[in-house]
Structure 1
Amino acid sequence: MAGISLPGTTLLVLCGTPGCGKSTFASRYFRETMIVSSDQCRFLVSDSETNMAASREAFKLFRFTIERRLSLGRFTVADSTAITRQSRGELLRIGRKYGFNITLLIFNIPEDVCLARNAGRERRVVRSVIAKMRQMLQRTLRDAHNEGFDNVYIITEGDLNNPAFRINIRNYEVTLPGPFDIIGDIHGCFDELTMLLDKLGYRNRSNHYAHPACRKAVFLGDLTDRGPRGLDSFWLVKAMVDSGNALYIPGNHCRKLSRYLEGRNVKIAHGMEKTVAEIEALTEDEREFFREEFLKLYREAPPYLILDKGKLVVSHGGIKEDMIGKVSGRIRNFCFFGDATGEITEAGLPVRRDWAQSYRGDALIVYGHSPVPEAVFVNNTIDIDQGCVMGGKLTALRYPELEITQVPAMAAYYERTGFSKNTFTHDDMCYIADSQQ
């Protein structure tokens, strides 16, 4: 493993036996203020790291300090053994309370290495204790993926000794003030996309589109599926992102395609079959190159972006005010799917709460995902998915001008029973099933 990328609002839980090197690892990659150490808490309450009789009070301080940091939105490293499911569960509860991403880092270091390191420490742990905790660690390796963590990573001795290993803490706030051209769901409508970029004043250079006035495009995801030229749409967006002329956040269809390209079990339906057909028409080398490049774009993209010093937030499916600045599994799902209740209507469509009706935040929220006939401002939010792939329009919101620019669809590429370009319903009944895959 060459490194790990983590959101800026992460509770990073370190798990391992004494002597595994996790405290040294923490001090190498994180600022001292980011690390909350159970040993240090024991020292603070009793003047001794080895006073095990003070552990109860020490862990009260440990959890209290973590909560205080999370309440202020600060990246936090929980440095304890976290070897029992109960101890990890307590940290999960705290992380969920504050809407944080909760990542578990398990240090799977050979027992003889841990014993050798332990022997060289001033504060040594009894050999039999390390052996017992090593057995508990094996159960953790087996069960941790099902405990509710947003991510679980395994650190090996090779990672500890790899000088190229990096920890990247992602900040989803981009201080760029704009100007931006925020573009709604493309869904393989490549011709309409190029028409819209031309209308917005972008020029097609040798290998990417760029604006002579240095405007940036912001793509709201769902680049492929349903339309006729999904791969071309992807390559256009990728070239603009790579050249610095665009920003990108993924949509739920991007998420599903990433899972397909990873070899996971997904249902190829609801327009995805068009993208799969395009991929299968490629040569083996071309397929592998597309897979690598798509996954790179997807994995490096945040679930939402905070722009113009917090005045603008873009998210595929929307975002609530109290979610802004945080990242967790629940928030990621909201950004992908909107405020889905988990219920389904008689027509087979997902039931969603209209979160925009109760939004009262200062930041303008621009989103897509659920096609509506017209782009209308509602409580400082605007949905710019006008269902181009279904015969509607491809929309861009110019910021800070707040001007709508659109091009009509050249055809209705994807049809659904009961849908017309003048009667839009929430998109689409595969979302509930897909969110479980």
Structure 2
Amino acid sequence: MTNVVVIGSQWGDEGKGKIVDWLSERADVIVRFQGGHNAGHTLVVDGVSYKLALLPSGLVRGKLSVIGNGVVVDPHHFVAEVEKLRAQGVAVTPDVLRIAENAPLILSLHRDLDAMREDAASNSGTKIGTTRRGIGPAYEDKVGRRAIRVGDLAEPETLPAKIDRLLTHHNALRRGMGVDEISFDALHDELSSVAEHVLPYIDQVWRLLDEQRKAGARILFEGAQGALLDNDHGTYPFVTSSNTVAGQAAAGSGLGPTALGYVLGITKAYTTRVGEGPFPCELHDEIGQHLSTVGREVGVNTGRPRRCGWFDAVLVRQTVKTSGITGIALTKLDVLDGLDELKICVGYTLDGKEIDYLPASQAAQARVEPIYITLEGWKESTVGARKWADLPAQAIKYVRQVEELIGAPVALLSTSPEREDTILVTDPFEG
């Protein structure tokens, strides 16, 4: 048995929710290790849809679920999401949910700053396309060593000094933006109003996970955004504010890297992205509209439409290397049903020269042009296929071509949002 890290191999929205839910039945512990409530997961279980943003997907299965120190936690959203799940009949108690005591908090001042910056950038044409939920500013305060963390709520006597330190920074920014300052009392009241709802769940997550590992538990690490939004290895500056590659599972949970085993890269059979930034294979034609409509490409939490394009093997191949992906879970193959022909990007041209990678330079990323190969499509439906024999020959050929181009095998193939509509090739927990 081995522990499994699940990440998105593209720009997110690859269908991680279903795959994590599918794997969670085989796991004992599910861990979120980065991000905040800016990335949604939709689970469909027995016809019931569960929409999660901050809480680990394993809660729906009643598995021990952990929010690691690499996550930034909006306490108000946490309370609301817990109540939403409870209303759907899911038991959410400290017996099944823990939060790392050293996870930073997202506060209203972070959301304010996020929105003000996006508005200003929008007016100047330089916006990043954030969800305005305070994720970036909260991470800034973390690395700036002024964050208020979950565990601080248990020590109210230490809060005044921490509030003063945080407000010294944020009120200076607000003055510069011509916005009213935040009072000490307002922030103190905000923290006090949620403390009793959050404190029952806090724990020394690093110790808990070590104990679980030594006891032989199967641990599933659940990433939020895709690897191409990684703060170091993504399309910077159009990225998220945390590391999203597989290595972050160790740093964001407190469990050492030797405990990480199989890395499963969730990979959509075409490419989508939300927000601003380069997208070499983006389609603005009827095929792009087809992918958007049939794939229902709208953000779970934000409602933002996703940009759509052909499968980009260059990007996924790069993620296979930067995250050490062992195998992929290929999702939404059924969206390609009925197309006469399919294209796959196998390289780029940059200023007349062929390259086999996405350059780090923002300017170069904007100039690359895709090089495509064309494959024959298929007319038969792949929806609900649960074994290879159910797939059209051309669909199998497409999958095999993807495997060859990215340098990683398909471990799972998803053919609909329903968790049982999955073809298992390799069980990640068995290595």
Whether these two folds match at TM > 0.5 is no
The answer to which structure, 1 or 2, has the higher relative contact order (CA under 8 A, 6+ apart) is 2
Q: Quick check: which has more Rg, 1 or 2?
A: 1
